[in-house]
Amino acid sequence: MYAESDYIMISALQHYLFCPRQCALIHIEQLWAENRYTAEGRVLHERADSGKSERTGSLRVVRTLSICSAHYGLSGQADVVEFHDNGSVLPVEYKRGRPKADSCDEVQLCAQALCLEEMLKVEIPQGALYYGQKRRRKEIALDKNLRGLTSATIQNTHQLIAGGITPKAIYSQKCEQCSLLQLCMPKSCQGHQSVTDYLARALEGLP
């Protein structure tokens, strides 16, 4: 069990899987910047996260539901959670683009399900990802493999953030899609860890 002060954001898991350095810049150094991709994602979430609930027949839809897990030390919000009269619960995560090659979206969804399972004392065998670019919903089986990957990612992310050390910069092609590119400076900061420390050193001696 984690103390509430040690909870990490569910979004940190996706940041970690995309790039541990990005995760550290956001959740340790508290840096953030927006680009077209994050802006489009924010608009999509604003549409989904109305905070309203509605009922249609045997289905109740709750939006922007605050969730947490003391066992995993997680907190965050679920974009949409569907409650069916038969007792089944289905989390739905909204994404701006299209399905990714890696499993970062699935891990974020699975983490939401783990929180809901702990809070509601139910089993959630599947969830869904809604991709705005394709306007299509993809059902995701929350199986043993995905749960194992999610659990390992949670542990690794906790260790990174608790350690308080930003990983060294390693430039790759996916850096060009990152909103933190100009803050991270992966080419300039090769071999350096903290962007904050790097900038402080660069400013030394200036009037």
- For the cut 80, the answer to whether the pLDDT of residue 205 exceeds it is no
Confidence (pLDDT) at 47: 53
Nearest to 98 by CA among 126, 137, 63: 137
In tens, the pLDDT along 50-86 reads 556 788 878 999 999 999 999 999 999 999 999 999 9
The CATH number of 4-203 is 3.90.320.10
DSSP letter string, 39-62: HHHHHHHHHH----EEEETTEEEE
Contact 74, 108 (CB under 8 A): no
- For the cut 90, the answer to whether the pLDDT of residue 98 exceeds it is no
Lowest model confidence (mean pLDDT) among 8-22, 65-79, 100-114, 168-182: 168-182
Q: Pick the residue with more confidence: 55 or 142?
A: 142
Lowest model confidence (mean pLDDT) among 14-28, 39-53, 69-83: 39-53
Confidence (pLDDT) at 39: 46
Q: Pick the residue with more confidence: 26 or 175?
A: 26
HSE toward the beta carbon, residue 143, CA cutoff 13 A: 4
Q: What is the mean pLDDT of the chain?
A: 84
Confidence (pLDDT) at 170: 84
Confidence (pLDDT) at 201: 53
